[in-house]
Amino acid sequence: MILDTHICYDALKSRDARFDGKFYIAVRTTGVYCRPICPAPTAHYKNCRFFATAARAETAGYRPCLRCFPEQAPGYVPREVASEIVVKAVDMIQHDPLENGNMEQLAGDLGISSRHLRRLFEEHLGISPMQLVKTRRVQMAKKLITETSLSMAQIAFVAGFPTIAQFNAEMKKTYHEPPSALRRRYKFGPKHSASDKNRLHVRLAYRPPYDWAQAENYLAGRMVAGVERFDRGCYRRMVTFKDASGVIEVCHEGRGNWLTLHVPMPLWPHLQHIIAKCRALFDLDADTDRIERRLSADARLKGIVAAKPGARLLGAWDFYELAIRAIIGQQVTIAGATTLTNRLVEHISGEMATVIDGERWLPFPTPDAVIAAPLEKLGFITSRAATLRAFSESYRRGDLTFARAATLDEKLKKLTSIKGIGPWTAGYIAMRGMAEPDAYPYGDLGLHKACGLSGKTARKDLHTALESVRPWRGYATMHLWRSLTAGEKP
């Protein structure tokens, strides 16, 4: 991947946060690499080297800056590289942490050999997949050292190091000092309250602009009672694993380009997984500047994007949950879908309610529970109940497990093969449940209205109109939905 060094240097001089995480600057005279927003005095151009990834900078012998904290930068998937396989692999490593660095499994998910995957990484990024995994692991450990009060043993475990010895060795190799010395430097770190004994507080950085009002309005209008809440500017959710459960909280404090994640003690062993889920849910790694420049080339979208930039393609905590909610929402209003979903969850999970800090919380139903539920008696029409059971059965069998190499068309085809799931539902599930940026709910009436389309050819006309903004039709959908008044949102 080739960077234009002059553009990178101009971005460094401007401290433009839109470039944060998209490249790194290494200074030959100090041996340190930084983010484009680093507050340190700007080095002379002749002393700078520019790298597309932190892993590449470290491979070249540079150590992370202790002022701008490269580990806090938003994730970035280099879509400019020629290989789509590399893009998908980077996305997988960033959002689905490989605790054991299993390259064979990663390559298998992509439908290629590990040797070929290494060759592609070297060709396009100048590093191996394992180097990227190791860098992500060290970055997570550094983040936990400076932002939390976890012990070093806990940090090593949560960050995915096999042993304490390897954790100490890798941290000292990268930062040229032991983890305990980095902990003593905490006063130079993020200026927010330290974690208490029962909760961790972790920053989730993003590249601006970020329209938090869009995220809050969209998600708050679709809350499932007992499963999630959105109040006082914070998203809260019941999270359940086999060995632990608790309520996480994600807040936008408005003090910088980050959200703050609060995690209770029982969930600490799953911190990496929770962070990855939250980043996907709130679409924190999006390159909004690049996306919105593309969207603005369309006459319909130019004014909408300019008026309120920063709309995100909001994801989902769980694919199955999102799909069930999408099926329930077919051809009904948001209010009607929410009522039916709440009724389903209460009927199935009511007896499993947990009271935490005086609030009642429920787990979302499992596929087995949905299949066995008396859906018709809960108000679902016969055809909708059959679709819910068919989808749950297919999911339970593993038929809806998609390989990383699967294309959007392949995913849509498999979804629509289930009776009762049409193009609208499949597109919506792919867009939010699979984080497919080019998916959209085909035939959506709200999109027709936002684009001023009507009549028998509206679906075809919308499809044709959105061709010009590919591969960002999902983002175009979010902008168009937001352009409608509150009472008209789909």
Q: What is the pLDDT of residue 59?
A: 85
Return the structure tokens found at 207: 């590249």
Q: Are 124 and 104 in the same domain?
A: yes
- Residue 170 covered by a domain: yes
Q: Give 254's strand partners.
A: none
Same domain membership, residue 102 and residue 173: yes
Of residues 84 and 390, more confidently modeled:
390
Average pLDDT over all residues of the chain: 87
Is residue 204 included in any domain, yes or no? yes
Task: Specify if 398 maps to a domain.
Answer: no
Question: Looking at the structure, do residues 221 and 155 belong to the same domain, yes or no?
Answer: no
Does 355 have pLDDT greater than 80? yes
Provide the pLDDT for residue 104: 77
Residue 97 is predicted with a pLDDT of 53
Average pLDDT over residues 454-466: 88
Average pLDDT over residues 349-372: 93
Domain CATH for 65: 3.40.10.10
Tokens of 102: 């299993």
> 59 and 134 in one domain?
no
Separation CA 1–CA 125 (nearest Å): 6
Question: What is the band of 67 on the pLDDT scale with cuts at 50, 70, 90?
Answer: confident
In this prediction, residues 402-413 reach a mean pLDDT of 84
Q: Looking at the structure, tell me whether residues 217 and 273 fall in a common domain.
A: yes
Domain containing residue 67: 5-72
Q: Please check whether residue 454 lies inside any domain of the structure.
A: no
Asked if residue 101 belongs to a domain, the reply is yes
Whether residue 206 sits in one domain with residue 171: no
Structure confidence at residue 82 as a pLDDT band (50, 70, 90): low
CATH code of the domain covering residue 161: 1.10.10.60
Report which DSSP code applies to 222: T
- Rounded-to-integer distance, Cα 316 and Cα 282, Å: 8
Does residue 116 sit in the same domain as residue 170? yes
Same domain, 58 and 124: no
Q: Look at residue 247 and give its three-state secondary structure.
A: strand
pLDDT tier, 126 (very low <50, low <70, confident <90, very high otherwise): confident
161 backbone φψ class: left, alpha, beta (φ>0; ψ -120 to 50): beta
pLDDT band at 115 (very low <50, low <70, confident <90, very high): confident
pLDDT of residue 56: 85
Task: Examine the fold and report which residue of 162, 188, 214 is the final residue of a domain before the chain moves on.
Answer: 188
Instruction: Give the rounded percent of residues in the chain with a pLDDT score beyond 90.
Output: 45
CA 4 to CA 37: how far, in whole Å? 18
> Integer distance in angstroms from the first to the last C-alpha of the chain?
40
State the pLDDT at residue 486: 38
Asked if residue 100 has pLDDT above 70, the reply is no
Task: Please give the model's pTM, rounded to 2 decimal places.
Answer: 0.83
CATH number at residue 251: 3.30.310.20
Same domain, 121 and 210: no
pLDDT attached to residue 354: 92
- The domain boundary, picked from 157, 188, 219, lies at 188
CB 442 within 8 A of CB 423: yes
Place of tokens 């800056």: 65
d(CA 187, CA 201): 16
Each residue's pLDDT tens digit, 231-253: 888 999 999 988 889 999 999 98
Could you tell me if residue 337 is inside a domain? no
Query: Dihedrals φ, ψ of 112, to 5°?
Result: -135, 175
Q: Is residue 90 part of a domain?
A: yes
- The bridge status of strand 258-264 relative to strand 234-240 is unpaired
- Give 488's pLDDT tier (boundaries 50, 70, 90): very low
Who's near 214: CB < 8 A, 6+ residues apart? Answer: 308, 310, 311, 312, 478, 482
Same-domain status, 98 and 33: no
Q: What is the mean pLDDT of the segment spanning 341-352?
A: 94
Q: Structural domain tally of the chain?
A: 3
Alpha-carbon distance of 187 to 256, in angstroms, equals: 18
Does residue 19 lie within any of the structural domains?
Answer: yes
169 and 136 in a single domain? The answer is yes
Which token pair is 228? 């999630």
Last residue of one domain, picked from the residues 31, 46, 72? 72
249 in the same domain as 176: no
pLDDT digits (tens, 9 = 90+) for 158-212: 888 888 999 999 999 888 889 988 888 765 444 444 456 678 888 898 988 999 9
